[in-house]
Amino acid sequence: MRVIMEPSLADRTTIRLGGKAIAELTVENYDDLKILPERCRELGGKPFVLGRGSNILAAGHDLPLILIRLNLKPKLGVYARSGDKIYLRASAQIPFAHVLRYCLANGLSGLEGLVGIPGQIGGLTAMNAGSFGAETGALLHSVLVWSDRGLNLIYQKDIIREYRRLKFGDLPGSPIVLESIFTLTASLKSVILKRANLNFLEKKSRQPIVSLSAGCAFKNPPGLAAGKILDMAGFRGKERGGMAFSSQHANFLVNLGNGSPEAAFDLLAEARETALRKFGIRLEPEVRILS
Judged by the rule CB under 6 A, the positions of this chain that interact with ligand FAD are: 14, 48-56, 70, 92, 117-120, 122-124, 126-127, 129-131, 176-177, 207, 209, 213-215, 288
Residue closest to 269 by CA, chosen among 100, 59, 102: 59
What is the nearest approach in angstroms of ligand FAD to the Cβ of residue 114? 7
What is the nearest approach in angstroms of ligand FAD to the Cβ of residue 118? 5
Backbone angles phi, psi at 53, to 5 degrees: 75, 30
Task: List the catalytic residue out of 112, 135, 179, 286.
Answer: 286
Q: How many CA atoms lie within 13 A of 62 on its CB side?
A: 6
Whether the CB-CB separation of 200 and 268 falls below 8 Å is answered with no
Task: List the catalytic residue out of 12, 89, 164, 236.
Answer: 164
What is the nearest approach in angstroms of ligand FAD to the Cβ of residue 162? 12
41 is catalytic: no
Pick 55 or 142: Cβ nearer ligand FAD: 55
Pick 22 or 274: Cβ nearer ligand FAD: 22
Task: List the catalytic residue out of 112, 216, 236, 288.
Answer: 216
Pick 110 or 274: Cβ nearer ligand FAD: 110
Residue closest to 227 by CA, chosen among 255, 201, 249, 194: 249
- Give CA separation, 83 vs 107, 142, 184, in Å: 16, 18, 11
Cα(34)–Cα(94) distance, integer angstroms: 22
Pick 108 or 176: Cβ nearer ligand FAD: 176
What is the nearest approach in angstroms of ligand FAD to the Cβ of residue 18? 12
89 is catalytic: no
Residue closest to 291 by CA, chosen among 259, 261, 252, 266: 261
Q: How many CA atoms lie within 13 A of 257 on its CB side?
A: 1
164 is catalytic: yes
- For the annotated catalytic residues, the residue numbers are 164, 216, 286
